[in-house]
Amino acid sequence: MNKKTFLTVLFALFCVAAQAIDEYQFHSGTAVIKGRVVNKPANDWNILTITSCNLFTSQEQVQSIPVAADGTFEAAISLPHSQGVWLKDIGHVFLAVSDTVEVTIDATKGEDEGGMTFSGNTTSAVINQLWPALRKQYFGDERLDIKSVSLEEIPAWKQKMVKLVDVVIADIKADRLPLPNGTNAYVKEVLGASLLAEPFESMLRTFRRHINTLMRNRVEYYDFLAEREQWLLNNPSMMLAICNSDYLVNGVGLYLFVDISFMDNSLHIDNLNTDPAEIVDYKNDFFLPHNYDASLHRTLLSIRKDTLLTKADYYRLATECGQKNYHLKNNFMQQVTLTHEIFETVNDEEHFTPDQKAAVFAAVIPLITNPVVAYHAVESYRQFVISSEGRSQNASSTPEADALFDRIIAPYKGNSLYIDFWGMYCAPCKTGMLEHREKVEKMKDLPVRFLYICDERDSPREDAEQWMQKNNIKGEHIFVTHEEWQLLCQKFQFSAVPFQIAFDKDGNLVKKEYLNTYLDELIK
């Protein structure tokens, strides 16, 4: 059986398992969002931008919705599964696959100012209507997700968050969430998960802010999880939380199951080079290289004192380590963290060969027992196979976005292009531009152009040009309208800056993993 046939059969087997799951909220599909922007300025609010995220792979998707002159809009939004999406500059909106939500947006009100009013009796509409008052009843007006807690305050703050979680759990178990009579089970499930998610997310954010100190004491910090594993970690509905579910799911991998995400416990993957001249690097390398001979293998084993293991051994030990440390089982969230490993590996062109990617996939899959998670893990790998066979395409772009970008780069045809999307409000953007000044100077006589593009609404031209002139930022300074910026976000699938892309002189996109090395090669 050849490799391609094997992958097809494997995918089919997992699809059969996944199809036995009837929880439609985890299926991909579309949701319709429609409504009207009121108090709309004549030359603004012409495009709405929605960011969704496949929480099983941590892959974002940016989609644009045109707004008519009278303020009306309607669009079918592609979703990897039901979830709370981010409507830029406005707030979170829950969208269920195959559902419709109607919303009125007040352009004069910002986030947290009640700028959205939902109408109708669809599942998504009811969830969005009930959420603000329900959240306020449990948490008041306090924004738990942005609360800054000092080290000294952490014990009391953590105790407060755990108490909030316990109150919600008790109300869910007793079916006494303060909701209207007749509220269906699905609505209760989403709203209950959203209430659980917010204090848990706050604890993850606090851990991140003090990670250097708390990492050493993380077992003690997360000592509340074992008793509440069923609700916080083995609860698929947490993926449907209305607000910041992407941060919650990623935070569990980054700040809880660090044994998987960061190769902790002295398990490292610093170097995959099999050159015997660099054999010393394997003192810190936990994995068997893909290609090795018997002599090299013996040498590696002697350096690692017979502890050189396969990737399958590593992921098994890493998951067991997390379970033992926190007294947990192989729960849903830990398995989602494993799918992130697959996605990050198959999208890393610089450090992993196709065979190494297959090895990671084969190592992780046996540890994923939940059929829904398994489906998304296999789908992630299937997309890599499709891409590697040259059958992938950018389905996110639109004719308007393509025409806009073609117009921007037209004056620089025949040159290699390094394009930096940035903003005056973004400190990392400015730092990167300052660090690039030397490269820009070295390449000034080469057929290379540096394009710095920003949203003129968020980065006023006068202020931006003044800063660039003061700091000697050479290159092409390009300002676009807010609507044009949103089209570019959708075309290149980014929702935050800094974001860089590059094209060679023939107009071919340079893979992001090679951006810096590509510029270095041009200098040579």
Q: pLDDT value at position 267?
A: 35
10 Å CB burial of residue 158 (0-12, 13-18, 19+) is: buried
Q: In 123-187, where do the E strands start and end?
A: none
* H helix and E strand count, the chain: 20, 13
For 196-224, b/e burial (b = at least 16 CB within 10 A) is bbbbbbbbbbbbeeeeeebeeebeebbeb
Intervals of the chain under pLDDT 70: 1-24, 111-112, 145-147, 261-309, 349-351, 387-396, 512-514, 523-524
pLDDT tens sequence across 338-355:
999 888 888 776 667 777
pLDDT at residue 354 in the model:
79
Cβ atoms within 10 Å of 423's Cβ, excluding its own? 18
- Residue 181, by phi and psi: left (phi above 0), alpha (psi -120 to 50) or beta? beta
**Architecture of the structural domain at 399-523:** 3-Layer(aba) Sandwich (3.40)
Residue bearing tokens 């939940």: 370
Q: What are phi and psi of 245, to 5 degrees?
A: -65, -30
Residue 53 sits at the vertex; the CA angle it makes with 51 and 57, to the nearest 5 degrees, is: 155
Residue 174: CA atoms inside 13 Å, Cβ hemisphere, count?
A: 9
Q: Say what the pLDDT of residue 385 is.
A: 81
Beta-carbon count within 10 A of 134 CB: 18
Bridge partners of residue 101, in order along the sequence: 33
From the CA atom positions of the chain, what is the Rg in Å? 25
**Beta carbons of 31 and 77 less than 8 angstroms apart:** yes
Q: Give the residue range(s) of CATH 3.40.30.10 domains in the chain.
A: 399-523
Cβ atoms of residues 11 and 4 within 8 Å: no
Q: In whole angstroms, what is the distance from residue 119 CA to residue 380 CA?
A: 36
The candidate with the shortest Cα–Cα distance to 314, out of 375, 268, 272, is 268
The confidence score (pLDDT) of residue 268 equals 38
Q: What is the DSSP letter of 45?
A: -
What is the pLDDT, as a whole number, of residue 515? 73
Q: How many residues does the chain have?
A: 524
* Residue 232 confidence (pLDDT): 97
Half-sphere exposure of 438 (CA within 13 A, CB side): 3
Residue extent(s) of CATH 2.60.40 domains in the chain? 23-118
Count CB neighbours of 88 within 10 A. 17
Residue 510 has what pLDDT?
A: 85
Give pLDDT, residue 118: 96
| Strands (DSSP E) found in 456-519 | 476-480, 499-503, 509-510
The CA distance from 112 to 73, in Å, is 22
- Tell me the helix, strand and coil percentages in the chain, rounded to 5: 50, 15, 35
Cα four-point dihedral sign 489, 492, 497, 503: negative
pLDDT of amino acid 291: 55
Q: Residue 300: its pLDDT value, please?
A: 61
Two tokens, residue 191:
């709203």
Closest of 287, 300, 298 to residue 356, by C-alpha? 287
Both tokens of residue 22?
A: 């009837």
Q: CA–CA separation, 424 vs 455, rounded Å?
A: 9
DSSP 289: P
Reported as a single tens digit per residue, the pLDDT across 428-486 is: 899 889 988 988 998 988 999 999 999 998 899 999 999 999 999 999 999 999 989 98
CA dihedral sign of residues 16, 19, 21, 26: positive
Scanning 102-174, the segments in alpha helix (DSSP H) are 123-139, 154-173
Q: Which residues contact 234 (CB under 8 A, 6 or more apart)?
A: 329, 331, 332, 333
CATH architecture label of 23-118: Sandwich (2.60)
User: Amino acid letter at 64?
Assistant: S
